[in-house]
Amino acid sequence: MANTADVETDLTSRRKAAVQRGVELAYAIQSGVPDGAPFCASAGPDLSERAAHETPYMSRHSTLAQQIAQCRGASGQSLHSLSFAKRAQLLRRMYDGLTALANSERARHDPILADAGFLQGLLRMKRLVTLACRGLPDQKMILRDPARPCAHAGTAAPCPDRQVRMRLKQPGSGLAAHVVANDASFPNLMERLSLAILSGRSVLMCVSDIAQPSALGLCRLLRSTAALPESLLHVVPVIDAETLLPHFQRGDIVTLCAKPAHTATFHAHPKVLDGSLRLGACQASHTALLLAPEYDPGAQEWELFLEAVATVHRNASFATCVLVPASLEERATERLRSAFGKIGIGPASLSAAMENTQAPAPQISLVPYSDTHGVLEVLRQFPGQRSLTVVSRQHGFLGEFVASLAPCLDQITVFNPETASPGPQAPAPAEEDILSLLEFYLEESEITGPATLLTQVSGIWMEGVPVREGEHPFRKPLSRLRVGDHLRSADRIVSAEDVEAFGHLTGDLFYAHMDETAARSHPFFDGRVAHGQFIMALANGLFVDPEPGPVLANLGAKDLRFFAPVYFDTALYVTLTCCCIGPLSKAGAAEVQWACQVLRSDDDTRVAQFDLLTLVASEWPQRTQARP
């Protein structure tokens, strides 16, 4: 038995060797592989030829600590300084570059570009790009909750110096480390990289030996796109908590893709226990496909079923479970083996497939079932997120079946492959919110201060903050529109004829609007009042600018509230203030939110308020292409 000193010496030497491998790997990533050269995933980078004519990366980054310091450098700081929308555009350029590579002639000679996992990762990146460009504002902070006056504020009336409190989400100050202690799937790597970039964090990928080829290949492709800022992404082959975590600082975050035993070593580290570091685990996403018990496929229907299996399996990150009625087990086994080659049979094979995280590709396991209870027992084996696709000709059994399974599943999709066109469709993606996905990567803080200051900090106008009047805000494109641009409309008197015409036009003949005697019997009306929807329509007519201009469309309204009844012969006016401006779309327009208030002209009593959403062009007049 080796003594303790020998064990410690061996452990130290292995750690030094790991750091040295990280240095060489980082050098290879910085230097890249010449464009067009084939990439061999099984071989490490050849540094011998480069060393003669390039400055060795090792001379500048000889330790793991120096690599981490470089990861925190100027590139990470410049990314942090961008707005959320600008980082979304950066991610879009990365996606566009990778997509162009995947569609180029180069894809025929590069095994990574043709890899099914890489193409799946591209789909995941596209989804995140779409969510980010639609949902992230062109601001450096995101309002978490509506601003509210402080309880101890001196005045409740809106004014520039009124103390308000708001909760904000902002980019974290540290780096994002992603520890992959087993084989790395491209979807996992590309999702974590995307979320870190959107949150303004530089990325340190800490990968196992078996994950190095995937990480190095992804970095090489990103470098080829010229979209990823230099030194924003570093990869090191160090995955143990004792070596990595001492180099991290408060504000850094760590996500883990590892087995529970390895994850436990991170959770037990002092920096995690004292709250200096936040840890997040990557949940496995397991997919199952179930052939309904009443389904007895013919020859053509079997082909459709196999297409459904292929569709589900193509989008799986881990083992794919195919559940079939016990009576069809023999026929299903024959069909699956002829289509996919080697498959597993029975619950034991499924358990083995889920344990084998270092398999080169997700595996298919066929599991027969006899009743709902058997299906439930199989699905409960899946850790993390679980989705089920049910292939069914009839839906008679689904009521009891789905009711029993729904509590243990995150998503259920039911479709009939006989009626799908042109073939079985992939399960629809679950509804996602980009802020929820970024939750772990962002920092949240509460800020209390004058309304003027918080408007400057958040980029969102607050009631009481000075406004800018002059040109009608609807005449301003995004290039000239600013938060706080304001309109006070002309007055409009509400008449009995207006209300009656509106009632007969819409069919809303409610007695409080049309019958004076009945209206006086109302508990809190003194007579006939105008329709609330008429007041809102009137407001739109008062603030609208009728000529063609940069406001392209009305996208709707939210948070509509009525505060006081409007009696006949009451004069009203409307205020319209630019509240916040959303991210610019590819089409050259952005969503703009306006704070709208309807007030009585005689005493400025607030009658109604709502937030108007419009689509505004970045420039006006817009450039138009000549029609043939």
Query: Residue 176: its pLDDT value, please?
Result: 93
The distance of Cα 529 from the centroid of its chain, to the nearest Å, equals 46
Tokens of 118: 């890489």
The distance of Cα 280 from the centroid of its chain, to the nearest Å, equals 16
Q: What is the mean pLDDT of the chain?
A: 78
| Dihedral sign computed on CA atoms, order 106, 110, 116, 118 | negative
Asked whether the domain spanning 467-617 has the same topology as the one spanning 16-45+55-142+169-281, the reply is no
User: Out of 49-63, 321-335, 341-355, 367-381, which region has the weakest mean confidence (pLDDT)?
Assistant: 49-63
- Which tens digit of pLDDT belongs to each residue from 242-296? 889 999 998 899 998 877 788 888 989 999 998 888 988 765 567 788 887 766 6
**Cα–Cα dist 581/563, whole Å:** 27
Strand partners, 385: 285
What DSSP character marks residue 408?
A: G
Q: How confident is the model at residue 95 (pLDDT cuts 50, 70, 90)?
A: very high
* Domain parsing of the chain, residue ranges: 16-45+55-142+169-281, 285-415, 467-617
- Which tens digit of pLDDT belongs to each residue from 6-41? 544 554 454 445 444 444 444 344 333 333 333 333
The topology (CATH level 3) of 16-45+55-142+169-281 is Aldehyde Dehydrogenase; Chain A, domain 1 (3.40.605)
Tell me if 304 sits within 8 A of 327, measured CB to CB.
no
Pairing of strands 285-291, 385-391: parallel
- Which tens digit of pLDDT belongs to each residue from 488-532? 999 999 999 999 999 999 999 999 999 999 999 988 899 999 999
Angle (CA) 555-559-561 rounded to 5° is 125
Which of 391, 385, 190 minimizes the C-alpha distance to 301? 391
DSSP 21-39: HHHHHHHHHHH---TT---
Tokens of 556: 């709707």
- Which tens digit of pLDDT belongs to each residue from 195-254? 999 999 999 999 888 888 888 888 888 888 888 887 788 888 888 888 899 999 988 999
Measured between alpha carbons, how far is residue 165 from residues 349, 449, 451, 452, 459 in Å?
56, 7, 9, 12, 15
Helix, coil or strand: residue 248:
coil
- In angstroms, the first-to-last Cα distance of the chain is 86
Tokens 């006070």, located at residue: 488
**Cα–Cα dist 203/37, whole Å:** 26
User: Out of 147-161, 455-469, 582-596, which region has the weakest mean confidence (pLDDT)?
Assistant: 147-161
What DSSP character marks residue 583?
A: P
Cβ neighbors of 142 (< 8 A, separation 6 or more) are 84, 136, 168, 169, 170, 435, 442
Cβ neighbors of 88 (< 8 A, separation 6 or more) are 129, 132, 133, 136, 198, 583
Which percentage of the chain shows pLDDT scores above 90?
29
Measured between alpha carbons, how far is residue 555 from residues 128, 143, 435, 481 in Å?
23, 21, 21, 18
CATH of region 467-617? 3.10.129.10
Pick the CATH number of 285-415 from 3.40.50.1000, 3.40.309.10, 3.30.1480.10, 3.10.620.30: 3.40.309.10
- Which tens digit of pLDDT belongs to each residue from 567-580? 999 999 999 999 98
DSSP 206-220: EE-GGGHHHHHHHHH
**Cα–Cα dist 240/407, whole Å:** 36
